[in-house]
Structure 1
Amino acid sequence: MRKTVAILGSGFSSLAAACYLAQQGNDVTIYEKNETIGGRARQFKEDGFTFDMGPSWYWMPDVFDRFFADFNKKTASYYELIKLNPAYRVYFGADDFIAIYDNLEEIKATFESIEKGSGKKLQKFIDSAKSNYDIAIKDLVYRPGISPLELVTPKTILKLNQFLGSVSQDIRKEFKNEKLIQILEFPVLFLGAKPTKTPSFYNFMNYADFGLGTWHPKTGMFDVVLGIQKLALELGVKIKTNAAIDKIVVENKTAVGIISNKEFIPADIILSGADYQHTETLLEKEHRAYSEKYWQSRVFAPSSLLFFLGFNKKIADISHHALFFDTDFNQHAVDIYDKPKWPDEPLFYANFPSKTDQTAAPDGMESGFFLIPLAPGINDSEELREAYFNKIISRFEKITKQEIKSSIIFKKSFCKNDFVNDYNACKGNAYGMANTLLQTAFLRPKLKSKKVRNLYFTGQLTVPGPGVPPALISGKLAAELIQKSLKAKK
């Protein structure tokens, strides 16, 4: 029987879930509070420059392919991909950077040139990472996090020791050069936790990096949003923007509709891809599954300070993705996770999409954004933003030996307060809840409300976790859970 489904938010998980639910024959409508779709993956254009506001790394292309294949479609029918070479550079100082190329053989040669014997060790490490990738991404992450038994398979039993050690421990057993160690530790930062707190099993992120490579949709990550939107519309999904949700209406412990812009909208099923903690504030207290104390006790992935910049010239000798690890990696991690504060000397990331996509900036100009990871819940002010802007621009100029500040003709910042205002993000987090051992799979907030019938959740605070590929998977898992529940009621 065709059901009416109301989906809150239009990020990747919501868009994915909408496609699956429409494919099942339901009447699906997405309600987005902002003017444009995409959630954290929105895009904006200003003065001839184009900026993706959120995700900028396209990893795990197989997950995207699997998503479109579920609808008998091909990714290439919805957007075009470019493989980046180099994938990225990691800067440790002036005239001191390591380029990561688009194939493992060149990466091994780079490692070997820095630390004798490390090329062979890297091959062994990536072989292990691929094995974990095949178990995790092709199997485990497609399980709904209902029971701990989901994690128990013949393959995972053999990997049990990898849930007890950490990624950092494993890397440091094999590699001695601190620069190589930091490069290998970097990918797990996408999971939102320190490498020392991330289980060894998650080294599959290194295979995603070195094995599958770094890609870029032809005109930015928003291409992916538009591609999935196109698929959703083809399937009959309706999308309403400027449609903030004021309340989820519950009768007899069953969700019966939503109130948006003071209008009651009935629905048989409500699925929220909006921030989980915020969504529960749309319920009366007795219907909330998780207390404020619970949310305050969780380990959240970082927030971020971002600067979107337009330059009136081309930036010389810089890659599309550039990581600046010229300060103490470990101290910055302490400032995020252990003793939250604004870091004295932050690591930062710079992205120049116009190096790959010439439409991202006017002719002869450059678009770029800079990102500093920050502790969630941190104090945010214009004065702090400006102080840190000057810090990182000065370091960028010193390391790359060029003056760029006077060439900035467009500038926009985005930080914790904006994550709260635009996305209702708990503590102003940018990436969701960290994938620590005690916040993995069945230990994450549930896809299905424990207190309200017909209310479901999807996205980065639930299963399987932070990141764009996991968001697509989360949408699928939520839709499957809904379908299973509807079948059981027949």
Structure 2
Amino acid sequence: MRVAIIGGGIAGLATAALLAADGHSVALFEKKNEVGGRAGSLTIDGFRFDTGPSWYLMPETFDHFFSLFGSSAEEELDLEVLDPAYRVFSEQDSGATVLDIARDAEANIATFEAVEPGAGAELREYLASSKESYDLALKHFLYTSFTNPANLLSKDVLTRLNKLFPLLTQSLETFVGRRFTDNRLRQILGYPAVFLGSSPDLTPSLYHLMSALDLTGGVMYPQGGFVTLISAVERRALEAGATITTGATVTEILTERGRRARATGIVWRDADGVEHRHEADIVVGAGDLHHLETTILPKELRTYPQRYWDRRTPSPGAVLVLLGVKGELPQMPHHSLFFTRDWHENFAAIREGRMPSPASAYVCKPSATDPSVAPEGHENLFILIPVPAAPAIGKGGPDGTGDSSVERIADEVIGQMAEWADIPDLADRIVVRHTIGPGDFAEDLFAWRGGMLGPAHTLRQSAMFRGTNQSRRVEGLYYAGSSTIPGIGLPMCLISAELVAKRLRGDTSSAPLASLG
């Protein structure tokens, strides 16, 4: 069949690769001048910044994807395991305390025990539970579109219902709080909720499965940055026969009306404003689902009209701060987390539309691992500050020229980092500065409410309760990416592409594809 894919992020590229390898005629259209979507890249004065994902987790999903093409993640990427996996700076009355999370689970158990007597044994049990939940999710809940109820009636699932039910009905915050007292330990185990676009008090405790990844040696980095992962997936798409057109903004999904509407192609506009039509039997929306459904699809054919989104919870927005810094910064490893003491107020501010102050932040220093991302004698810093999902907060820009709210919180967090990590001259050593705000996410990525990730992983927006990957109103219209099942993150987006391929095959199993073609 003729397939048109809207969006050249990892989900769109992976969908193009899988469907082209399955024998379809695939054409992908990307609004920006380069592919990658949220996993973008920016080069300034010799510094190369990843502007999106920076944690390589769930390695099984990448290995599986590349294995379908007769390759592996090891062959495609130069992966390095990080140790420490990350460092945690926690706000205290007298500055900040520091804890390192190692690649070795036993070392992390010892760290927890040193902080809180008895916490080591609790963490051992916690990690065993998280591993069991992770394995169950991979086997039954991630590689399925939930169209076959029999998949949920397997012995594996039924015998664990007594464990699954409380994991779905209590929050991650409650689950962690019943086991650990120290605020720092609670934050380490609760923070994965932010990478799921949510907060610990709104995220189901089933997602404690994330700790089976970052606390047990699962944090890796691809040398050259995440752009190398995007390039590898793009290469697979092109080699399979897909075509990719960049600078192509899709403005309409064409349909044919009969007893039921059917997708017949798309209309796209090039950089000169000239409109083109592309006929197709299948259309896959691999970009922001809110934009697709509420902007480029006729109102009467929307599975997810605006009233649906009005009842949904977005992920937070983000202010990104990209810094080139002169000299070394040994105080910070590849990944660092800066936690405010009262992060309930931090999350409350974001939900209520207020800019948090002080703000928790995540900092990536890829130059700790990859010499290609910064000139010799310099460091590369990527700072992510969760803020409300609100384009009105504004856009960023070079050298402090972004909107005032964006630059103000960037300055504040740079100051916090300098104080907590004991780098008093940090601001004076900055030689490159570029900010990105929620307004940029909304304009560049059509992101719903300027969010950085997609719909948050709350209970009613997870697993079978998340948006389906096939239109209920238009035959031949499918969805991939973080807006739909299985959810947020690079591994999930890879799986979402595979779910589209399985849909077209009529495969209703919960197992990954065994082969292509």
Q: Same fold (TM over 0.5)?
A: yes
Q: Secondary structure at the match of 1:174?
A: coil
The reply to whether residue 246 of structure 1 matches residue 251 of structure 2 is yes
TM-score of the aligned structures, taking structure 1 as reference length? 0.95
**1:167-178 to 2 correspondence within 5 Å?**
167-178=172-183
Among 317, 325, 338, the alignment partner of 1:324 is 338
1:35 counterpart residue number: 33
| CA–CA distance in structure 1, aligned partners of residues 249 and 103 of structure 2 | 42
1:234 counterpart residue number: 239
The reply to whether residue 360 of structure 1 matches residue 361 of structure 2 is no
Count of residue correspondences: 482
1:386 counterpart residue number: 407
The reply to whether residue 396 of structure 1 matches residue 394 of structure 2 is no
Among 280, 298, 311, the alignment partner of 2:325 is 311
1:296 CA drift (Å): 1.9
| CA–CA distance in structure 2, aligned partners of residues 45 and 312 of structure 1 | 16
Q: Which has the higher helix share?
A: 1
Task: State the Cα deviation string for residues 268-307 of structure 1 (Å, max 9, x = none).
Answer: 1110101001112111111111221211210111110001
| CA–CA distance in structure 2, aligned partners of residues 121 and 349 of structure 1 | 26
2:266 counterpart residue number: 258
2:120 counterpart residue number: 119
Letter in 2 for 1:82: E
1:313 CA drift (Å): 2.0
| CA–CA distance in structure 2, aligned partners of residues 286 and 326 of structure 1 | 46
Do the aligned partners of 1:103 and 1:213 also contact (CA within 8 Å) in 2? no
1:263 CA drift (Å): 0.8
Letter in 1 for 2:462: T
1:213 counterpart residue number: 218
Query: Which moves more between the two structures, 277-286 or 159-168?
Result: 159-168
1:129 counterpart residue number: 130
Q: Secondary structure at the match of 2:253?
A: strand
1:291 counterpart residue number: 305
CA RMSD of aligned residues (A): 1.5
1:396 CA drift (Å): 1.0
The reply to whether residue 376 of structure 1 matches residue 397 of structure 2 is no
Letter in 1 for 2:437: C
**1:335-354 to 2 correspondence within 5 Å?**
335-337=349-351, 339-354=352-367
| CA–CA distance in structure 2, aligned partners of residues 73 and 34 of structure 1 | 29
1:351 CA drift (Å): 1.0
| CA–CA distance in structure 2, aligned partners of residues 46 and 211 of structure 1 | 35
Among 16, 22, 25, the alignment partner of 1:24 is 22
Q: Secondary structure at the match of 1:195?
A: coil
Do the aligned partners of 1:145 and 1:444 also contact (CA within 8 Å) in 2? no
| CA–CA distance in structure 1, aligned partners of residues 193 and 283 of structure 2 | 33
Q: Secondary structure at the match of 2:304?
A: coil
1:336 CA drift (Å): 2.0
Q: Secondary structure at the match of 2:215?
A: helix
2:488 counterpart residue number: 466
1:192 CA drift (Å): 1.6
**1:403-442 to 2 correspondence within 5 Å?**
403-442=425-464
| CA–CA distance in structure 2, aligned partners of residues 245 and 300 of structure 1 | 23
**1:190-201 to 2 correspondence within 5 Å?**
190-201=195-206
2:76 counterpart residue number: 78
Do the aligned partners of 1:59 and 1:209 also contact (CA within 8 Å) in 2? yes
| CA–CA distance in structure 1, aligned partners of residues 150 and 362 of structure 2 | 39
Among 2, 5, 12, the alignment partner of 1:4 is 2
Letter in 2 for 1:108: I
Over 3 Å counting, the alpha-carbon distance change for 1:333 and 1:251 in structure 2 is: same
2:477 counterpart residue number: 455
Among 272, 278, 289, the alignment partner of 2:285 is 272
Letter in 2 for 1:451: R
Do the aligned partners of 2:101 and 2:108 also contact (CA within 8 Å) in 1? yes
1:211 CA drift (Å): 2.4
Amino-acid identity (%): 34
Q: Secondary structure at the match of 1:204?
A: helix
1:212 CA drift (Å): 4.3
Query: Which moves more between the two structures, 315-324 or 143-152?
Result: 143-152
Do the aligned partners of 2:105 and 2:217 also contact (CA within 8 Å) in 1? no
Q: Secondary structure at the match of 2:139?
A: coil
Letter in 2 for 1:400: A
Letter in 1 for 2:421: T
1:488 counterpart residue number: none
Do the aligned partners of 2:191 and 2:199 also contact (CA within 8 Å) in 1? no
Q: Secondary structure at the match of 1:39?
A: coil
Letter in 2 for 1:91: F
| CA–CA distance in structure 1, aligned partners of residues 276 and 99 of structure 2 | 56
2:510 counterpart residue number: none
Q: Secondary structure at the match of 1:435?
A: coil
Q: Secondary structure at the match of 2:434?
A: strand
| CA–CA distance in structure 2, aligned partners of residues 278 and 150 of structure 1 | 32
1:483 CA drift (Å): 2.7
Do the aligned partners of 1:304 and 1:371 also contact (CA within 8 Å) in 2? yes
| CA–CA distance in structure 1, aligned partners of residues 449 and 16 of structure 2 | 27
Do the aligned partners of 1:68 and 1:75 also contact (CA within 8 Å) in 2? yes
1:146 CA drift (Å): 3.5
Over 3 Å counting, the alpha-carbon distance change for 1:145 and 1:461 in structure 2 is: farther
Task: State the Cα deviation string for residues 300-335 of structure 1 (Å, max 9, x = none).
Answer: 111100011111222232111111013421111111
1:150 CA drift (Å): 4.7
| CA–CA distance in structure 2, aligned partners of residues 104 and 244 of structure 1 | 46
| CA–CA distance in structure 2, aligned partners of residues 415 and 255 of structure 1 | 35
The reply to whether residue 14 of structure 1 matches residue 12 of structure 2 is yes
| CA–CA distance in structure 2, aligned partners of residues 331 and 150 of structure 1 | 41
Letter in 1 for 2:128: D
Q: Secondary structure at the match of 1:138?
A: helix
Do the aligned partners of 2:365 and 2:379 also contact (CA within 8 Å) in 1? yes
TM-score of the aligned structures, taking structure 2 as reference length? 0.91
1:445 CA drift (Å): 1.8
Q: Secondary structure at the match of 2:213?
A: helix
